[in-house]
C-alpha cells in the first residue's frame, strides 16, 4: 500500500509535558500504525521508542517567535505526503484506533470525494446532512465551524490554503470558517449516530486534555492513573471553569483582527 499519509501532531515547545503521555497512549492504542509521524515542534527534539517520529523544529535559527499559524504552515510545507491525519498533543487516546475505517475514509479523499473528513464533532458543530455513504455526514456550507481543529483526515493542500499567517487557532476556526463559506470544498465528518458512542469512535479521545493551557482534570487524572503515566500537574495546573477572567484585550484590536482575517 502506498504510504501517502502523515500523522501530523500539532504542538509547540511549551507543551512538551504532553508528549510522553500522548505517545504512550498512541503506542498502546495504535501499536501497528504504519504511517510516519511529524511532531510540530519549534526547536525541540523528541524521540519515543518504537515510533517513527520526526520533529519539525520550524523555528530553528529564528530571532523572533513565530505565530501559531506560521509554525503550522512551515511544517505542512515540509511534509511530502498529500494527506495528513491532523492531531494535537492533547488528543489523548483512550481506546484502540479503528485503522480499517480510517483507511476507508482515506480512500474517499484519494478518490476526490472529500477534502477533509473529521473524526470527532464537538457540541456546537454542524448542522450536517446525510450522504450516500452511510458512514459520513456532510458539514453544512454555512456551518459555524466549517473549519475545525479536532482530529481529521485532510488533503494537505486544502488545510494549507486556509491558513493566514497572523491567526491563532481560535481565529482560524472562526474566521477561517467564515472564509470557507465562500469556498467550494467537500467537508465531511463521521456519522455521529454510528461513531459517537463509547467504543465506536474511530480515533477515541475526549476534547481536550488541555484547556486554555491547563490540564482538564476530569480527562487526564483518571486516564493517566489508569495507564501509570506520571506527570507533574503543578507545572500548568488544572483548568477551573469558574475562575476564568474575561479578556481585557482592547475591543479595537479584536475588530482589527476580524477585519484582517476576513479580508
What's residue 253's pLDDT?
Answer: 52
How far is residue 113's CA from residue 126's CA, in Å, rounded to a whole number?
A: 19
CATH topology assigned to domain 5-262: Spore Coat Polysaccharide Biosynthesis Protein SpsA; Chain A (3.90.550)
Give mean pLDDT, residues 195-224: 96
8 A C-beta contact, residue 89 and residue 19: yes
Instruction: State the pTM of this model.
Output: 0.92
- The per-residue pLDDT for 249 is 52
Q: What is the DSSP letter of 65?
A: P
**Which tens digit of pLDDT belongs to each residue from 48-89?**
999 999 999 999 999 999 999 999 999 999 999 999 999 999
Domain ranges of the chain: 5-262
**Per-residue confidence band for 1, with pLDDT thresholds at 50, 70 and 90:** very low
- pLDDT for 158: 98
What mean pLDDT is reported for the chain? 93
pLDDT band at 10, cuts 50/70/90? Answer: very high
Rounded Cα distance between 261 and 263, Å, is 5
The helix/strand/coil state of 138 is strand
Helix pair angle (169-180, 251-262), 10° resolution: 50
Query: Does the pLDDT value for residue 207 go beyond 70?
Result: yes
pLDDT for the residue 180:
96
Residue 43 — pLDDT band, cuts 50, 70, 90? very high
Q: What is the pLDDT of residue 248?
A: 54
Residue 246 has pLDDT above 90, yes or no: no
258 pLDDT more than 70: no
- Considering the chain, what percentage of its residues have pLDDT values greater than 70? 92
Please name the residue that has the C-alpha cell 491567526: 167
- Specify the DSSP class assigned to residue 18: G
- In this structure, what are the phi and psi dihedrals at residue 61, rounded to the nearest 5 degrees? 85, -5
Amino acid at each position: 500500500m502506498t504510504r501517502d499519509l502523515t500523522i501530523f501532531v500539532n504542538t509547540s515547545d511549551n507543551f512538551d509535558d504532553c508528549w510522553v503521555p500522548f505517545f504512550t497512549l498512541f503506542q498502546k492504542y495504535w501499536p501497528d500504525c504504519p504511517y510516519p509521524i511529524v511532531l510540530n515542534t519549534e526547536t525541540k527534539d523528541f524521540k519515543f521508542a518504537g515510533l517513527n517520529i520526526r520533529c519539525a523544529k520550524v523555528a530553528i535559527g529564528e530571532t523572533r517567535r513565530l505565530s501559531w499559524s506560521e509554525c503550522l504552515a512551515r511544517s505542512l510545507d515540509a511534509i511530502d505526503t498529500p494527506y495528513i491525519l491532523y492531531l494535537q498533543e492533547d488528543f489523548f487516546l483512550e481506546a484502540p484506533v479503528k485503522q480499517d475505517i480510517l483507511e476507508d475514509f482515506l480512500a474517499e479523499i484519494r478518490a476526490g470525494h472529500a477534502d477533509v473528513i473529521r473524526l470527532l464533532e464537538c457540541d456546537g458543530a454542524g448542522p450536517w446532512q446525510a450522504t450516500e455513504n452511510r458512514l459520513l455526514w456532510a458539514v453544512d456550507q454555512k456551518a459555524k465551524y466549517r473549519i475545525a481543529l479536532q482530529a481529521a483526515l485532510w488533503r494537505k493542500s486544502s488545510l494549507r490554503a486556509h491558513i493566514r499567517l497572523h491567526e491563532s487557532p481560535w481565529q482560524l476556526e472562526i474566521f477561517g470558517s467564515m472564509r470557507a463559506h465562500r469556498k467550494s470544498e467537500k467537508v465531511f465528518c463521521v456519522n455521529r449516530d454510528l461513531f459517537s458512542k463509547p467504543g465506536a469512535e474511530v480515533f477515541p479521545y475526549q476534547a481536550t486534555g488541555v484547556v486554555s493551557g491547563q490540564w482538564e482534570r476530569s480527562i487526564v487524572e483518571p486516564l493517566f492513573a489508569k495507564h501509570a503515566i506520571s506527570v507533574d500537574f503543578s507545572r500548568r495546573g488544572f483548568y477551573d471553569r469558574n475562575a476564568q477572567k474575561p479578556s481585557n484585550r482592547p475591543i479595537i484590536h479584536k475588530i482589527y483582527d476580524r477585519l484582517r482575517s476576513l479580508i
